[in-house]
């Protein structure tokens, strides 16, 4: 099987190790990974800020960067959910790209969804001897519908102890530009999220969303706390 790999902006610029982990995970299952180095942003930041003309340009580029009718694996439910659910809105008055939008809607798949529901693999012989808690990203849970898949993968990691935190479905305060425009509210939200995580006794906060982990880890660093954050892909790829 051959797949295309889309690496979101946050991962490309700040967490490239996550991208390499994804490649290791896929190749361990004899999946041929095609990476188009011309790819850039999917356009979600401008879309959420109301600049749909700019988002449309990004969407057209995305369509051209991923012209194949095959799976496009994305280690972010936020980006995957945006492309699947909102690209058609950008072309309501311009049907030229609507067929491409439908193709992307069918082919864009978040990483853990692809592993569990498409490859039918939940055990990667990973080991992570730590107590962790899991953060459900808002976009992953509410827009993409991702909930059980990450937990099925976590359940097969040797030595890992998962303890769910209180209000695990509550936003961490990132919300894209929300954390920049509404700093006091965002800070209060991430403070509560980290407090709930600390109450579990966890050493790590795990998520499938790098942007959430960026926001959470920034608060942890500011407060000089000992708990850490880690993307699920980095756990699954540890022994590969």
pLDDT digit string, tens, across residues 86-122:
999 999 888 889 999 999 999 999 999 999 999 999 9
| Its pTM surpasses 0.75 | yes
pLDDT of 51: 86
158-176 average pLDDT score: 83
Q: Which two tokens stand for residue 172?
A: 């961490």
CA 183 to chain centre: 23
132 and 168 in contact (C-beta within 8 Å)?
no
Check if CATH label 3.40.50.11810 holds for domain 131-236.
Answer: yes
Q: Residue 72: beta bridge partners?
A: 4, 108
CB-count exposure of residue 114 (10 Å: 0-12, 13-18, 19+): buried
CA 172 to chain centre: 14
What percentage of the chain reaches a pLDDT higher than 70?
95
The phi and psi torsions of 197 (rounded to 5 degrees) equal: -65, -45
Output the CA torsion sign for 200, 145, 178, 154: positive
The domain spans of the chain are 2-118, 131-236
| Of 175, 230, 220, 199, the residue nearest 17 (C-alpha) | 230
């Amino acid at each position: 099987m051959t797949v295309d790999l889309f690496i979101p902006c946050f991962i490309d610029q700040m967490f490239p190790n996550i991208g390499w982990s994804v490649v290791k995970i896929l190749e361990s299952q004899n999946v041929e990974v095609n990476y188009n180095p011309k790819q850039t942003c999917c356009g979600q930041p401008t879309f959420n800020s109301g600049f749909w003309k700019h988002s449309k340009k990004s969407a057209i580029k995305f369509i051209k960067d991923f012209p194949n009718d095959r799976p496009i694996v994305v280690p972010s439910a936020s980006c995957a959910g945006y492309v699947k659910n909102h690209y058609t809105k950008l072309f309501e008055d311009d049907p030229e790209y609507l067929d491409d939008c439908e193709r992307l809607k069918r082919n864009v798949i978040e990483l853990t969804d692809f592993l569990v529901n498409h490859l039918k693999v939940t055990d990667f012989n990973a080991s992570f001897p730590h107590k962790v808690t899991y953060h459900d990203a808002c976009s992953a849970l509410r827009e993409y519908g991702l909930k059980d898949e990450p937990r099925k993968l976590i359940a097969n990691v040797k030595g890992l102890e998962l303890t769910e935190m209180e209000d695990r479905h509550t936003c961490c305060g990132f919300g894209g530009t929300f954390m920049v425009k509404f700093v006091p509210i965002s800070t209060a939200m991430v403070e509560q999220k980290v407090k709930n995580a600390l109450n579990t006794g966890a050493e790590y906060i795990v998520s499938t969303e790098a942007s959430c982990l960026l926001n959470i880890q920034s608060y942890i660093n500011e407060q000089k706390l000992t708990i850490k954050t880690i993307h699920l892909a980095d756990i699954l790829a540890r022994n590969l």
